[in-house]
Chain A
């Protein structure tokens, strides 16, 4: 158990819908990262937040957005869902910028768009 929690574990929804994935980082970790794992794209970095602020952005679609709240939990919002958005979405957390960067991953949320 990495200490990173993600909910829900599974999500099945229809095209065009909007969903919210939630992540709670390890206690004391200020950075939260979101990654997408799919068969065709592999593991792709989406976005990083540090203490509530966006710090780095990857190949995140405009239909996707994220935020980190004052209690450090994070949410990834996916809207206008398409079949191709079906994937495993991971959240990871690390202690702080400037130290050894060990990212610890949550168990993931499996999203199926039908």
Chain B
């Protein structure tokens, strides 16, 4: 199966850390990604993690991968109002001679003052 699940909403206060969670089902995924979508905009690639890694840090972003539980998380440190958006996790799937991304349902992050 290729279902990717996320919680729908997350509300945090400015300056706090945000943690967005994702579970996926395809254990053969080699890459897992996080995308950000602001209102009326396209998808912005934030970061990715290779499946043989447990953690990746990129400035305020930390990605944790638990391959055994097929669980991925994105931590945003010192969350700002500009971080308010919908966050999608996506898994990379090889299919036939090509590839695709299977996206989660998206988590809407609301940052309050």
Q: Which residues of A contact B (CB under 8 A)?
A: 2, 4, 31, 33, 35, 42-45, 48, 50, 55-58, 90, 92, 97, 100-108
B20 nearest CB across to chain A (Å): 16
Report yes or no: B97 in contact with A42, Cβ–Cβ below 8 A: no
Q: Is the CB of A45 within 8 A of B42?
A: no
Q: A56-B95, A100-B48 are in contact. List 9 more A-B contacts (CB 8 A).
A: A2-B44, A43-B103, A45-B100, A45-B101, A55-B96, A55-B98, A58-B100, A102-B48, A103-B45
B residues touching A (Cβ–Cβ < 8 Å)?
31, 33, 35, 41-45, 48, 88, 92, 95-106
The closest CB in chain A to the CB of B103 belongs to A43
Show 15 A/B contacts (Cβ-Cβ < 8 Å), sorted by A: A31-B98, A33-B100, A35-B103, A42-B103, A44-B103, A48-B99, A50-B98, A55-B98, A55-B99, A56-B97, A56-B98, A92-B101, A97-B99, A102-B48, A105-B45
Is the beta-carbon distance between B100 and A90 smaller than 8 angstroms? no
Are the C-beta atoms of A101 and B42 separated by less than 8 Å? no
CA distance A48 to B98 in the complex (A): 7
Q: How far is the CA of A97 from the CA of B98 in the complex (A)?
A: 7
Check B100 against A56 for contact (C-beta < 8 Å): yes
Select the residue from B42, B97, B103 with max chain A CB neighbours within 10 A.
B42
